[in-house]
Amino acid sequence: MPERNIFDRRGIPTVINAAGTLTRLSGGIVAPGVAEAMRDACLASVDMLELQAHASQILAAITGAEAGYVTAGASAGLLLATAACLSRYDASLMNRLPDTGGMSNEFVIPRGHRNGYDHAVRAAGGRLVEAGLPERQAGVGVRETEAWEIGAAINERTAAVLYVAGEWARPALAEVTEIAHRASVPVIVDAAAELPPQSNLRHFLAQGADLVVFSGGKALGGPAASGILCGRRNLVMSAVVQSIDLDVTWDQWNPPTALVDKKSLTGLPQQGVGRSCKVGKQEIMGLLAAIEHFVAEGDEARHSRWLVDARRIADGLADQDAATVTLVGESDVSCIPRVELQFPRGSTSAALALAERLLDGDRPIHLDQTWSDRGRLIVNPICLRDGEARLVAQNVVRILRQ
Ligand SMILES: *Cc1c(COP(=O)(O)O)cnc(C)c1O
State pLDDT tens for residues 119-141. Answer: 999 999 999 999 998 887 777 76
Closest CA to 38 of 225, 191, 312: 225
For residue 23 and ligand 1, the question of a CB distance below 6 A is answered with: yes
Per-chain mean pLDDT for the chain:
96
pLDDT of residue 141: 67
pLDDT at 393 over 90: yes
Q: Residue 27 CA: which ligand 1 atom is closest?
A: 8
Nearest by Cα to 284 from 22, 59, 6: 59
Rounded Cα distance between 219 and 383, Å, is: 9
Q: What integer pLDDT is reported at residue 266 of this predicted model? A: 86
Residue closest via CA to ligand 1's atom 13 equals 192
Please tell me if the CB atom of residue 25 comes closer than 6 angstroms to any atom of ligand 1.
Answer: no
> pLDDT band for position 3 (50/70/90)?
low
Contact indicator for 53, 258 with CB cutoff of 8 Å: yes
Determine if ligand 1 sits within 6 Å of the CB of residue 117.
yes
Q: Could you read off the pLDDT of 230-273 as tens digits, one per residue?
A: 999 999 999 999 999 988 999 999 999 999 999 999 888 889 99
CA angle 199, 370, 308 (to 5 degrees): 55
Query: Cα–Cα distances in Å, from 153 out to 83, 125, 168?
Result: 20, 19, 22
pLDDT tens-digit map of 295-339: 999 999 999 999 999 999 999 999 899 999 999 999 999 999 999
Residues contacting 3, CB < 8 A, separation 6+: none
| pLDDT tier at 1, thresholds 50, 70, 90 | low
Atom 2 of ligand 1: nearest residue by CA position: 192
Q: Is 370 in the pocket of ligand 1 (CB under 6 A)?
A: no
Question: Which of 17, 18, 15, 31 has its CA nearest to residue 314?
Answer: 18
Asked if the model's pLDDT at residue 382 lies above 60, the reply is yes
Which of 22, 23, 75, 220, when mutated, tests ligand 1's pocket best, judged by the most ligand atoms within 8 Å of its CB? 75
**Which of 118, 190, 291, 336 gets mutated to test ligand 1 (max ligand atoms within 8 A of its CB)?**
190
**Could you tell me the distance, in angstroms and rounded to a whole number, from the CA of residue 218 to the centre of ligand 1?**
8
d(CA 355, CA 396): 9
Above 80 in pLDDT, residue 2?
no
Say if ligand 1 is within 6 A of residue 73 CB.
yes
Ligand 1 lined by 118 (C-beta under 6 Å): no
pLDDT at 143 over 90: no
Q: Residue 145: is its pLDDT beyond 60?
A: yes
- Is 174's pLDDT higher than 70? yes
